[in-house]
Chains A and B, each alone.
Chain A
Amino acid sequence: MASSKSEEDVDDKGENDEGKHPEGNLLNFEPEVPVESMLVPTDNFDSFEQEAPPDPATLQDDDNLVECQKIARNTSDENTEDPDKNGTSRSMSELSLVSVESSEPQQVDDEVSNNSEWRSQEKHIFILSSAGKPIYSRHGSEDKLVTLFGVMQALVSFIGDDGDTVRSIHAQGTLFVFLIKGPIILACVCKTRESVSQITVQLNYVYSQIVSVLTLEQLTRIYEQRRNYDLRRLLAGAERLVDHLLIALETQPALLLGAVQCLPLASTTRDTITSTIVSCCNKIKNLVFAILVGGNQLVTLIRMKKFFLHPADLHLILNLVNSSESFKAAESWTPICLPKFNSRGFLHAHVSYLAEDCQACLLLLTVDPDLFFPLSEAKQKIVEKLRRASLLQSINAALAHPGTPVSQLGVPEARHFLYKCKATAQFWGPVPAPPYQSSEGAKRLLDQYRVLHHRLHAPSQPLKLLYLQDHAETMLGWITTGFELYVAFEPLVTKANAISAVNKILRWIKKDENGLFITNAPTF
């Protein structure tokens, strides 16, 4: 330990002079924090969860790392006994609810009793109205789950009668999480390793997806007028947006991190794309955002001065694009509500793919319902200019690029990592290589990141640094004011090698940051 520590010290002296970070042992390779970001900077559970106060303890050396690991182990032990220490669940209601749960209901739904496939699902998501009307079920058909929806509604209203709110129920390896949002109840029943706060974030995402389709205005009004309304009528065709969002939540780190990934491009290329869009749009009044996305990654984002886009809203936009084949067939003019931007009203989006031979999708968002034709013209001009400057080719090349595997970074100890730049709400990670290439491998990796993420962000005891070793891999998580880093190592890596690898990763990111991240904040 000692030798490796001094090695690091010598190695990193030069670049570490500023000493901004208490973690003196690790390098200070944060990307330059832009003065203004195009996305609202986020912390992971921002605005969904209370921000926990920063841990005053600082970590100086390896001993602290060990210390920290112990703390983490303790926390995790406590977690298993009392999975939610942050006061979100009430012990009394837990008790009474668990007993409700264990008494067999008299009448049982078809799916629940007869369908073993349904019962074996690891994770269920249900949405219902506060009157108990089914709205959505991730698995099976809502119509066959009427009794179950009734039971959920009864639970929520039973506890609600005392002016309390049920948040979670913990029973024999199954976790029940509830989120009550005005006239809507969202529930998750799962056997996964996710925490209550992580699931609450997911339920919040699902809720914002519904708001995005309807606006809060419409949602509230409809239930004020008819408490018994069947919301599926209004959501017709939008179930697949919720399905798709839930799949993204299960398979992609972006929503966990509250950050987006950018399409890697040389910064000069990206800047030219951006200025091309600006030059074709800057005479158009009331254009709020221009967003170019490709392969679930952000190419560029231009905003009206004064306005910012929240990453949660951008995730809803990506979800819409990714789940709507119909956008490929023609230009679309579609209403979309961005809940963080304005939950009360719709923006109008001109949505189109750049060209048949360039599958990046351009969204031009405005408050003006009459702007379709000016935007359509602007889009044509943008494509012409991009084509003339061979920028469609550049975008295509970046889209076709298979991604950088971690092996190209010269960090053999690391199997995978996620780096999030907090100030810009962007992240980057290498393309998964074995053992994470298979879908089970990828799932396990994401589970590991989730555990790490949860422990680091545990509202009761947030940590800055965490090192977890188990039989499959060693995980290291590190949070500073500027970035979050989550690394998966092979299980037998030494701490010294892990730290040296982290430094190499940070150095590599620093070197390439202009291509990996959008560091400016262009406006019209």
Chain B
Amino acid sequence: MRTIEGKIVVLGSQGVGKTSMVVRYIGKMFSHHISPTIGASFFTCKINIDDTRVKLQVWDTAGQERFRSMAPMYYRNANAALLVFDITQYHTFTAIKNWVKELQRNVEEPMVLALVGNKTDLVNQRKVLREEAHQYAVSIGGTYFETSALHDEGIEEVFLNSAIGMIKLSEDSQCTSLRIYDSSEAGSPTAILQPPPPLSAAVQLDKGPSPGEQERVLGCC
């Protein structure tokens, strides 16, 4: 099986729901008491698409102004970016434009861009029109998604899209930052943790525990 390892950075203002989205996707839960991210959090997950396994290294960044100078550390060598805003706060959408400019200036390799309008459960307080966001996404060569981390809507698609985008990137020889290998050679111990039956014939989501916890499943006590 071919394995692709890529890095995905989650950017956007504080409070738009970045951590909630990642935790919803990887931890399959939503907590109302998530405390603000400090610096950045690191998650990993795996998605199997046809005969390719995509390992995602997810950097969930903090978004506060004081961590701004740290951002390059997280988006450097990233293969995909989730640009998250809150559909009920127009300024969080504006803030995305600065992130995009910064990425365009500083990241040389091609990147899969996903623009994500979160909190669709609050649609009656919507301030950012779907059409406007969609047009902007197209203008930067990205795809627009709307999600609700609270109601678990649209989140799988965002990550799946990034994974598929990375597979496409991997077919492009220009892309050097993606790690591609045949997993039969580089057999990692995590393979033991293959989940039970695939979700669908074509797509199998395999959200392993974060590193450092993998052994826990196998260990005793």
Any chain B CB within 8 A of the CB of A57?
A: no
Which residues of B sit under 8 angstroms from A327, Cβ to Cβ?
A: 38
Residue from B33, B38, B70, B213 within 8 A of A332 (CB atoms)? B38
Any chain A CB within 8 A of the CB of B43?
A: yes
Which residues of A sit under 8 angstroms from B214, Cβ to Cβ?
A: 380
- Complex CA gap A4/B40 in Å reads 62
- Contact: B215 with A380, CB < 8 Å? yes
- Contact: A333 with B221, CB < 8 Å? no
Q: Which chain A residue lies CB-closest to B219?
A: A387
**A234 in contact with B38 given A330-B210, A331-B212, A355-B213 (CB within 8 Å):** no
- Complex CA gap A128/B70 in Å reads 26
- Contact: B34 with A330, CB < 8 Å? no
- Contact: A320 with B38, CB < 8 Å? yes
Any chain A CB within 8 A of the CB of B100?
A: no
- Contact: B221 with A332, CB < 8 Å? no
Which residues of A sit under 8 angstroms from B65, Cβ to Cβ?
A: 233-234, 236
Please count how many residues in chain B sit with their CB below 8 Å of the partner chain's CB atoms.
Answer: 33
Residue from A213, A236, A330, A393 within 8 A of B42 (CB atoms)? A330
A219-250 interface (Cβ within 8 A of B):
233-238, 240
Residue from A236, A334, A352, A388 within 8 A of B212 (CB atoms)? A352
Q: Which chain A residue lies CB-closest to B217?
A: A356
Any chain A CB within 8 A of the CB of B183?
A: no
Mask: chain B, 88-116; 1 = CB below 8 Å from A; 0 = not: 00000000000000000000000000000
| Range of interface residues on A (Cβ < 8 Å) | 35 or more
Q: Which chain A residue lies CB-closest to B42?
A: A331
- Contact: B27 with A329, CB < 8 Å? yes
Which residues of A sit under 8 angstroms from B174, Cβ to Cβ?
A: none
B23-58 interface (Cβ within 8 A of A):
23, 27, 33-43
Any chain B CB within 8 A of the CB of A357?
A: yes
Any chain B CB within 8 A of the CB of A335?
A: yes
Distance in angstroms from B39 CB to nearest chain A CB is 3
- Contact: B14 with A324, CB < 8 Å? no
Any chain B CB within 8 A of the CB of A376?
A: yes
Distance in angstroms from A485 CB to nearest chain B CB is 38
- Contact: B23 with A329, CB < 8 Å? yes
Which residues of B sit under 8 angstroms from A390, Cβ to Cβ?
A: 221
Which residues of B sit under 8 angstroms from A356, Cβ to Cβ?
A: 213, 216
- Contact: B35 with A326, CB < 8 Å? yes
Residue from B38, B60, B73, B212 within 8 A of A383 (CB atoms)? B212
Any chain A CB within 8 A of the CB of B168?
A: no
- Contact: A393 with B221, CB < 8 Å? yes
- Contact: A329 with B67, CB < 8 Å? no
- Contact: A333 with B40, CB < 8 Å? yes
- Complex CA gap A390/B221 in Å reads 8
Distance in angstroms from A496 CB to nearest chain B CB is 50
- Contact: B34 with A357, CB < 8 Å? no
- Complex CA gap A379/B216 in Å reads 13
- Contact: B14 with A383, CB < 8 Å? no
Question: Can you report 12 A-B residue pairs in the complex whose CB atoms are below 8 A from each other?
Answer: A236-B65, A240-B36, A326-B36, A330-B60, A330-B210, A332-B37, A332-B39, A332-B42, A333-B42, A334-B40, A335-B70, A352-B212
Task: List residues of chain A with CB under 8 Å of any chain B CB.
Answer: 213-214, 218, 233-238, 240, 320, 323-327, 329-335, 349, 352, 355-357, 369, 372, 376, 379-380, 383-384, 387-388, 390, 392-393
Closest 5 CB pairs of A and B: A334-B39, A237-B36, A330-B41, A325-B35, A331-B42
Known: A326-B41, A331-B212. 11 other contacts (CB 8 A): A237-B62, A237-B64, A240-B35, A320-B38, A326-B19, A326-B34, A326-B37, A329-B27, A355-B212, A355-B213, A383-B216
